[in-house]
Structure 1
Amino acid sequence: MPLPKVLSFIKNENYDHLSSEVVTMAKKSLLDFIASTYTGYQCKTSSIALKSANWIGEKGYCTVIGSEKQVSPFAATFINATLSSCMDIDDGHRDAVGHPGCMIIPPVLTSGELDKNCTGKELITAIVVGYEVGIRCGIVMNSNHKQLFYGSGGWALFGSASGVAKIKRLTEESLKNSLTIAEVYGPTAQCGKSIAAGSMTKESVGWGATTALMGVLLAEHGFTGPNNILMDKHLYNSDIETVFETLGEKYEIKNIYFKQYPACKWAHSPITAALNIMKEFNPNLEEIDEIIIETFSKAVTLNHIKPQTTEAAQYSIPFTVATALCYGAVEPFHVSEEHLKNHKIYSIAKKIRMIQVDDLEKDFPRKRPARLKIKMKDKEVFTNEVKLVKGDSENPLLWEDLVDKFHRCSKDFIDSERREEIIERIKNLENITNLKEFTSLLR
């Protein structure tokens, strides 16, 4: 089992061991996380999440991004995690089938903020540690995703606990208990139920991150957990030892993808295909007879024709593809509540039919392919197939792309001078000697 190797990695990993590429990816992930968090304020979820401080702990010194609130560590973790995930524009990892950043960065940032001696280098290291452990747990746990599909709150909490434990410099015994408590206390994160209902629970992100933080604090004070992690070996198709064999040598953070659109990653290929067709052929939308989307079976479940909530819209391939066709873009405000009754979008969405096809099924989860066919009333057919999109690790968003995304996501909440300062601080994060210098900019 991987626990001894994992504990050794968490304890011994240090900034000087990290390559410049890995450090840059940690900075990009942090910038993307903050952009996604500001975007979250466009969701109804945000106002409810902010109220949670009344119950989880209103008194404290931890930053809520985009708010004047300073609250307890638990409240800050829950709110920031929920905000960063509620627009579904946060980072992800294909093989883990979910989102590490929204789970790992909030409790790590909170813990670093409370530590008077936490530096930018330590924050970078803790983020990397969290991503490396969390992603590998996701790869194992979702190796049998056709039968048992864990949302990010069910697997990335191992990364959350690892990153927080690294910030807190725990002894090996406390470190072990931090991870094993997470094994038992973590949410099952049955996101399929949330997707079907279009509910705010999504992938149990807010509670997963908060649970991980609680587990670390309990372990720090002597609370014990079982003796290992990933104990449900019979449920997984991956060999656990093989997945963790490269820990500390091969860095999975380099395989992170970043999103251009506020939608489930499974929708990004058909959205891109729709935009490609509009750019190349510019078909008359009123003359469309039918739109067929061929894709893999998981994506076919995202078939809400007329979503009733923002969350359902993010998980609706017909709605987001119709948006792309109508407006030539899919921006966060396109999936906000005021757009849900947009007749122009609905008139296109109801013409969409989704089909699972075997030749694209075999590519999942390594790729999220889709083939879009627009059939016109005059029998002309426009087709475009997409297997990789801009933002995938094979076709990554550059630093400049993420800076542009950050501006687009945060411009309605903070002025340009503050935005530029945040970007500059992240770009030179290793030079920060006290994390509060940075977090104070986010309020």
Structure 2
Amino acid sequence: MSFEPVADFILGAPTIPDTALDMGATLLLDTIGIAAAANVMPAGRIARDHVVNFHAAASKENAARLMFDGRSASIPGAAFAAATQIDNFDGHDGYNPTKGHIGCAVVPALFAFAEPRPDLSARDALVALVIAYEVSARAAITLHATVSDYHTSGAWNALGVAALAARLMDMSPDRLRHAMGIAEYHGPRSQMMREIANPSMLHDGSGMGALVGSMSALLARDGFTGAPAITAEGDEATPFWADLGQDWTVEKNYIKPYPICRWAHGALDALASILHDHAFSAHDVASIEVSTFAESAALAPGMPDSSERAQYSLPFPLAVLLLYGKIGPGHITGTGLSDPRVAEILPRISVREEPRHSVRFPSGRWSDVSVTLFNGDSFHSGDVNARGGPEAPMALGEVKEKFRTMTAALTQDRAEALWQMRERMMDPEMPFSALAGLVAPAI
């Protein structure tokens, strides 16, 4: 596969439809909201302290402020810290065919590489972000189609980060090619199901994806060479890149209603539909039976002992939803992890794999749920696909309400000013620094 059309797309002037740019702006603000909500979580704090102590920049032009922190680190360090922070609060966007997440790496990279470019317009920043989404998506799909292991998002969103950085630094096609080659070679090809079996702060590998992608672009700019990225120009990659610049996958990303692994969302939405249609309380429930796809069935059972296990669980968020009708940051952190009412419900929930749901993964996240009450009444959801994607998108009002919930720690004026930036991103006269100035100060 020739690299020339890929380079032309990344470095040139692709005609991006307004619908794709508008979706890019919505995903950007949604991701900013998740970064704010994740600010207090241990993983984000550790990552921020780490880069301040060990990834400092020697000069101002190589430094970037950390999101919602106020301190600075090197550009790769800032990207790593924010991506790790966002990745460890599982409410960020994703794209079904990638089996993972793009925004959690490319949004932090955008803020980091924009820092020394005060003249960057909001619209140009948005164009770079959409391009990064498109590159990441195709690198992911190619990787999944050509290797046997299921790798974390960091293995392929590193290429999107490298592409974004190369565009913002106005690199040559040759340097871009090396940047993407370095990013692919050093990208964290970590096995996703290992993390599912042992939930930790490693999460989906996007922190390292952002770090590697950022470093790769900067190394390539300085003359470091890399082997061609197989997922971008190998012969097997050709069919997955043929529609670049024609099919705008950014428009097909989902926005999560719950800060929980997407694999659990089909079951959560199925239970929500039953709760909507029938009047009963959590104490009326004798049992909840969940049929789901294999990866979802592998999510952690029991009462979680960490936020990571809470986010990579299926029974736990179902119990939370049953009790409270919603799942917010407080349910998956702190005292929410030892809620005795949730613990009481968990033994009533059983999960099994259903082959018909498994064959529809990753194009969908299907589940069905049956609820039986102590009085003998029984309700069945039917097959439900997780909402939030193009098949059942969240209304913009819902996305805004989610943003308000996620930015509750900010002042109301700051949160509202941030949300208003969603529409202003299309304005070529607005500097991106206006948005960055709202994101950088500490909470």
Q: TM over 0.5, yes or no? A: yes
What do residues 60-91 of structure 1 show as CA deviations (whole Å, max 9, x unaligned)?
A: 54122212213221221111111222110000
Does structure 1 conserve the Cα–Cα contact (< 8 Å) formed by 2:16 and 2:245? no
Decide whether aligned partners of structure 1 residues 432 and 199 sit closer, same or farther in structure 2, where only a CA change above 3 A counts. farther
Give 1:433 shift.
Answer: 4.6
Counterpart Cα distance in 2 of 1:227 and 1:78: 24
Q: Who is 1:224 aligned against? A: 225
Counterpart Cα distance in 2 of 1:380 and 1:219: 64
Moved more, 4-13 or 427-436: 427-436
Q: Who is 2:424 aligned against? A: 428
What amino acid is the match of 1:49?
A
Out of 228, 243, 247, the residue aligned to residue 246 of structure 1 is 243
Q: TM-score when scaled to structure 2?
A: 0.93
What amino acid is the match of 1:303?
A
1:439 aligns with 2:430: no
Does structure 2 conserve the Cα–Cα contact (< 8 Å) formed by 1:88 and 1:264? yes
Aligned to 1:142, the other structure's residue is in SS state: helix
Q: Who is 2:128 aligned against? A: 126
Counterpart Cα distance in 1 of 2:268 and 2:201: 23
What amino acid is the match of 2:13?
E
Counterpart Cα distance in 1 of 2:395 and 2:71: 32
Counterpart Cα distance in 1 of 2:394 and 2:247: 21
What do residues 303-344 of structure 1 show as CA deviations (whole Å, max 9, x unaligned)?
A: 321211101101100000010001111112111131111121
Counterpart Cα distance in 2 of 1:140 and 1:228: 11
Decide whether aligned partners of structure 1 residues 426 and 70 sit closer, same or farther in structure 2, where only a CA change above 3 A counts. farther
Give 1:180 shift.
Answer: 0.2
Q: Describe how 1:78-97 pairs up with structure 2 within 5 A.
A: 78-97=80-99
Counterpart Cα distance in 2 of 1:132 and 1:2: 17
Give 1:240 shift.
Answer: 2.2
What amino acid is the match of 1:311?
E
Counterpart Cα distance in 2 of 1:390 and 1:192: 23
What do residues 103-146 of structure 1 show as CA deviations (whole Å, max 9, x unaligned)?
A: 1111122111212332112201110110001001111212378x
Give 1:431 shift.
Answer: 3.3
Q: Who is 1:407 aligned against? A: 404
Counterpart Cα distance in 1 of 2:290 and 2:138: 32
Decide whether aligned partners of structure 1 residues 228 and 70 sit closer, same or farther in structure 2, where only a CA change above 3 A counts. closer
Q: Who is 1:158 aligned against? A: 159
Q: TM-score when scaled to structure 1?
A: 0.93
Counterpart Cα distance in 2 of 1:37 and 1:437: 18
Counterpart Cα distance in 2 of 1:161 and 1:398: 32
Does structure 2 conserve the Cα–Cα contact (< 8 Å) formed by 1:264 and 1:314? yes
Does structure 2 conserve the Cα–Cα contact (< 8 Å) formed by 1:108 and 1:127? yes
What amino acid is the match of 2:423?
K
Q: Who is 1:56 aligned against? A: 55
Does structure 1 conserve the Cα–Cα contact (< 8 Å) formed by 2:293 and 2:358? yes
Q: Who is 1:345 aligned against? A: 342
Q: Describe how 1:20-419 pairs up with structure 2 within 5 A.
A: 20-52=18-50, 53-57=52-56, 61-143=63-145, 147-230=148-231, 239-412=236-409, 414-419=410-415
What amino acid is the match of 1:33?
T
Does structure 2 conserve the Cα–Cα contact (< 8 Å) formed by 1:154 and 1:186? yes
What amino acid is the match of 1:182?
A
Aligned to 1:371, the other structure's residue is in SS state: strand
What amino acid is the match of 2:420?
E
What do residues 188-244 of structure 1 show as CA deviations (whole Å, max 9, x unaligned)?
A: 13232222222010111111101100000000011000134328979xxxx521111
Give 1:289 shift.
Answer: 2.9
Decide whether aligned partners of structure 1 residues 373 and 100 sit closer, same or farther in structure 2, where only a CA change above 3 A counts. same
What amino acid is the match of 1:31?
L
What do residues 250-290 of structure 1 show as CA deviations (whole Å, max 9, x unaligned)?
A: 11101010011010011111111222222222334334332
Does structure 2 conserve the Cα–Cα contact (< 8 Å) formed by 1:273 and 1:372? yes
Q: Who is 1:11 aligned against? A: 11
Counterpart Cα distance in 1 of 2:196 and 2:306: 11
Moved more, 353-362 or 432-441: 432-441
Give 1:425 shift.
Answer: 2.6
Counterpart Cα distance in 2 of 1:107 and 1:186: 15
Counterpart Cα distance in 2 of 1:2 and 1:267: 39
Does structure 2 conserve the Cα–Cα contact (< 8 Å) formed by 1:164 and 1:213? yes
Counterpart Cα distance in 2 of 1:39 and 1:365: 27
Give 1:361 shift.
Answer: 1.8
Gaps of 5+ in 2: none
Q: Percent identity?
A: 25
Moved more, 47-56 or 257-266: 47-56
Counterpart Cα distance in 2 of 1:428 and 1:213: 27
Gaps of 5+ in 1: none
